[in-house]
Amino acid sequence: MGETFGPRAADHGVRSLSGDAPSTGSDGSRRVALALDALRHGWPIVIEGALALLPAETGFGTGITSTRMLISAARAATLKLANQREAAVPEAPVLIRAADPFDLESARAVADPALDLRYPMKGPFAAEHLDNRDAAMLAMELARLAGVLPAFMVDPEPVGEAQAVAIDDLQHWKDTRRLVIAARSKLPVAACEDAEIVAFRSMDDLREHVALVIGKQDGDRAPLVRLHSECLTGDILGSLKCDCGPQLDAALEAMAEEAASGGWGVLLYMRQEGRGIGLINK
């Protein structure tokens, strides 16, 4: 508040936060939350003060280019780069370089499988050695949490100010002690009328996850538990491309039977469409 900032090469609207100070739980969690917000808005992030990244899917600006991109191992395999992945860690992200620098349009063509038919001719690409694998893995995880494609322009020019985040910050953001119960209520369901829904969230994540408790909670008896990732197409629309809906129904029926015999069950319904990649990407 009240501070003056000089001209920027590219005004992405993101203030850089120092990553030099020791990370505390609240500071680290806050940096991750800001980094996720930056990715969703198309702003750059910088990991460990060295790896500057602009999300290929949401990034914007005029005249932005980069000589390299960071993509997921799965996308690298699709682009016929499977033989250039590191054999020791095949799931590691892949750093690629093309004959010409990437701009935003070509970066999106590389990143988005939905554009493969529109841009069938891509490459050739060459994979380069990844100096900081942990930072690259963090970038992939941040993309998943933000719901954007796991692809980045590396050290883009001009980059402007970037949101800083450190590798150790993620463990603070994922601290389960930061979960709070937002609401709970009786919710009779078709499988069992004796049910209660409990909604909870993290202080850094506005998505509400829910637990459906079937039967009477009993600390002396272990519950029957199912962890279920949200699936709009399978759970609601009855998609025949997956069995998420039938699995959900079967789990509730099994919990109802458990409750009828004096036990209880818990369905953890996680707001992780497509196991975290989002509905559109799925």
Q: What is the pLDDT of residue 4?
A: 33
**C-alpha closest to that of 138 among 32, 58, 27:** 32
**How far is C-alpha 231 from the chain's CA centre?**
16
Q: What is the DSSP letter of 17?
A: P
Predicted local confidence at residue 176, as pLDDT: 62
Indicate the range of 89-98, 105-114, 257-266 predicted with least confidence.
89-98
Examine residue 158 and say whether the peptide bond preceding it is cis (omega within 30 degrees of 0). yes
Instruction: Determine the Cα–Cα distance for residues 239 and 232; give it in Å rounded to an integer.
Output: 9
Provide mean pLDDT across the span 153-177: 86
Q: What is the C-alpha separation between 138 and 39, in angstroms, rounded? A: 13
Average pLDDT score over residue span 226-253: 92
Model pLDDT for residues 100-152, shown as the tens digit of each residue: 999 999 999 999 988 988 988 888 898 898 888 999 999 999 998 888 999 99
- Compute CA distances 133 → 46, 47, 83, 173, 194, whole Å: 14, 11, 18, 20, 49
Q: What is the rounded distance in angstroms from the CA atom of residue 265 to the CA atom of residue 259?
A: 7
pLDDT reported for residue 31: 92
Task: Give residues with Cβ within 8 angstroms of 33, minimum separation 6.
Answer: 173, 204, 205
pLDDT in tens, 235-244: 989 989 889 9
Q: What average pLDDT does the segment 148-172 reach?
A: 91
Which residues touch 147 (CB under 8 Å, ≥6 apart)? 40, 276, 277, 278, 281
Asked if the model's pLDDT at residue 71 lies above 80, the reply is yes
Can you give the pLDDT at residue 85? 58
CA–CA separation, 139 vs 53, rounded Å?
Answer: 8
Higher pLDDT, 20 or 34: 34
Residue 1 pLDDT exceeds 50: no
- Res 67 pLDDT > 90: yes
Q: Is 278 left (phi over 0), alpha (psi -120 to 50) or beta?
A: left
Task: Name the pairing type of β-strands 224-229 and 264-270.
Answer: parallel
Contacts 24+ apart (CB under 8 A), 111-118: 111/56, 111/57, 111/69, 111/71, 111/75, 111/149, 111/151, 112/56, 112/57, 112/149, 112/151, 113/75, 113/78, 116/78
Give residue 202's pLDDT. Answer: 73
**Beta strand spans in 65-120 (E):** 65-71, 94-103
Residue 172 has pLDDT above 90, yes or no: no
Q: What pLDDT digit, counting tens, does each position of 185-222 carry?
A: 999 999 999 999 999 887 666 678 899 999 998 888 99
**Number of other CB atoms surrounding residue 200 within 10 Å:** 15
pLDDT of amino acid 50 = 81
Q: Quick check: 5 pLDDT over 60? A: no
Please tell me the pTM assigned to this model. Answer: 0.68
Contact between 189 and 252 under an 8 Å Cβ cutoff? The reply is yes
pLDDT at 203: 66
What does the alpha-carbon distance between residue 123 and residue 5 come to, in Å, rounded to a whole number?
A: 40
In percent, the amount of the chain with pLDDT more than 70 equals 82
- Lowest pLDDT segment from 160-164, 171-175, 186-190: 171-175
